[in-house]
Amino acid sequence: MKVDWLVVGAGFTGCVLAERIATQLDKKVLIVERRDHIGGNAYDYYDENGVLVHKYGPHIFHTNSQRVWEYLSQFTAWRRYEHRVLGVIQDKKVPIPFNLNSLYALFPSRQADSLKERLISQYGLNVKVPILRLKEATDPDIRILAEYIYQNVFYGYTLKQWELKPEELDPSVTGRVPVHISWDDRYFQDIYQAMPLEGYTPMFEGMLDHPNIEIRLKTDYRALLDEVRFDRMVYTGSIDLFFDYLYGPLPYRSLRFEYVTLDQEWYQEVGTVNYPNNYAFTRITEQKHLTGQILPETTLVYEYPQAHRAGENEPYYPIPREQNRERHKLYLKEAEKLHGKVIFVGRLGDYKYYNMDQAVARALQLFEGVIANL
């Protein structure tokens, strides 16, 4: 068999690139996926009670990119959804990211009034301040508050999720959930926040529905190398595995998901409740909040962080820190020796903690900036 492009991995990155190459360049694409479904970590399906669940943990779409939004809107209609998260702090459920509502829920109102004034005069209203920066505040009262938030919201959660302390990771990790000096209690403030109306999987099916695209599931690309000839490859798997761990494994974090169905309509007030300080899991998500389904039963998903063990569990999260980036650079140097025959991209190929919209933006940029000009 001969194709123009072999695309390894049918997640966001692989699907966008297969779609672009097939439709814009009119080239033949074989997309090969190790798992038994397309969609990568954003794959969803209906469980036995009819709840639309995300197999690899809750995926909430949000972006500020009009381009990404318009691109995906070709393949799906949307359901408006703004994610809200509560965190259990000292037996109270308070909004996360920590914001002015959380401050008033946890502190007596006179103290909260004073802290609010100090925060606003120091940083401004509707401003986001990463916790590691807030800890460096010159105002001693703000520093005490920052230490409180650090201990109660970030420390335990981050240890569970990464087996590292917040300051042992790139600051961008805890910076994803900055303290928000605002009354806005949403998890994201992006312009576009929505879920694919029929789910993610039909959206991916729409992307790959083209006569130039053939899909091969349950197949590791290596099993095809004798059988398939191709001009170039897009590779969205782990870059260290591609090179047989030449420079040692790149570390990833994995998760174990536990799905629980309850014979009751609702379990919790919002989509996700975080448990920074108790239990082995980090958070519980109630899928129906995300999907808007009205059903008598409900499905929850618990996330238990784990070390990644190659071949045993999935490498869900690259671990953003300096020494890992250095090792990744060695692999990129190795990739250069392939002279563009293989293009590494995606959350695993780039070893970057991309959200879905960032993965799409990166793929579109790669297509327009590189692939379309080859």
Cis check: omega of the bond before 97, within 30 degrees of 0: yes
User: Which positions from 297 to 316 touch ligand FAD by CB under 6 A, shown as an x/- string?
Assistant: -------------------x
Candidate list 7, 8, 145, 335; residue touching ligand FAD; CB under 6 A = 8
Candidate list 221, 252, 351, 367; residue touching ligand FAD; CB under 6 A = 221
Q: Are strands 317-318 and 252-262 parallel, antiparallel or unpaired?
A: antiparallel
Q: Kindly tell me which of 171 and 292 has the beta carbon lying closer to ligand UDP.
A: 171
Place of tokens 């949403």: 186
- Binding segment for ligand FAD (CB under 6 A), chosen from 52-60, 120-128, 130-138, 189-197, is 52-60
Q: Rule CB under 6 A: is residue 32 a binding residue for ligand UDP?
A: no
Check if the beta carbon of residue 38 is closer than 8 Å to that of residue 44. Answer: no
Candidate list 199, 271, 276, 318; residue touching ligand UDP; CB under 6 A = 276
Q: Rule CB under 6 A: is residue 154 a binding residue for ligand UDP?
A: yes
CB of 55 to ligand UDP, least distance (A): 15
Nearest alpha-carbon partner for 125 in 100, 90, 142, 146: 100
Check if the beta carbon of residue 167 is closer than 8 Å to that of residue 57. Answer: no
CB of 330 to ligand UDP, least distance (A): 26
> Out of ligand FAD, ligand UDP, none, which partner does residue 32 contact, by CB within 5 to 8 A per kind?
ligand FAD
Return the beta strands (E) in the chain as ranges. 2-8, 29-32, 44-46, 52-54, 61-63, 78-80, 85-89, 92-96, 127-129, 179-181, 192-196, 213-216, 229-235, 252-262, 272-274, 283-286, 298-307, 317-318, 342-344
Handedness of CA 214, 216, 222, 224 (dihedral sign): negative
Q: Rule CB under 6 A: is residue 356 a binding residue for ligand FAD?
A: yes
- Binding segment for ligand FAD (CB under 6 A), chosen from 9-17, 66-74, 202-210, 333-341, is 9-17
Candidate list 174, 193, 236, 285; residue touching ligand FAD; CB under 6 A = 236
- Binding segment for ligand FAD (CB under 6 A), chosen from 178-186, 193-201, 304-312, 341-349, is 341-349
Cβ atoms < 10 Å from Cβ of 67:
13
User: Which positions from 173 to 192 touch ligand UDP by CB under 6 A, shown as an x/- string?
Assistant: xx-xx---------------
Nearest alpha-carbon partner for 193 in 52, 80, 292, 43: 80
Buried b or exposed e, range 201-228, using 16+ CB within 10 angstroms: bbbbbbbbeeebbbbeeebebeebeeeb
CB of 324 to ligand UDP, least distance (A): 15
> Out of ligand UDP, ligand FAD, none, which partner does residue 40 contact, by CB within 5 to 8 A per kind?
ligand FAD
Contact positions with ligand UDP (CB under 6 A) in 71-110: 87, 96
Candidate list 102, 152, 161, 291; residue touching ligand UDP; CB under 6 A = 161
Helix, strand, coil shares of the chain, percent, nearest 5, are 35, 25, 40
Q: Rule CB under 6 A: is residue 57 a binding residue for ligand FAD?
A: yes
> Out of ligand UDP, ligand FAD, none, which partner does residue 178 contact, by CB within 5 to 8 A per kind?
none
- DSSP-assigned letters across all residues of 261-281: EESSS-S-SSSEEE-SSSSS-
Q: Are strands 44-46 and 29-32 parallel, antiparallel or unpaired?
A: unpaired
The residues of the shown chain that bind ligand FAD, judged by CB under 6 A, are 8-14, 32-35, 40-42, 56-60, 220-221, 236-237, 255, 316, 346-348, 354-357, 359
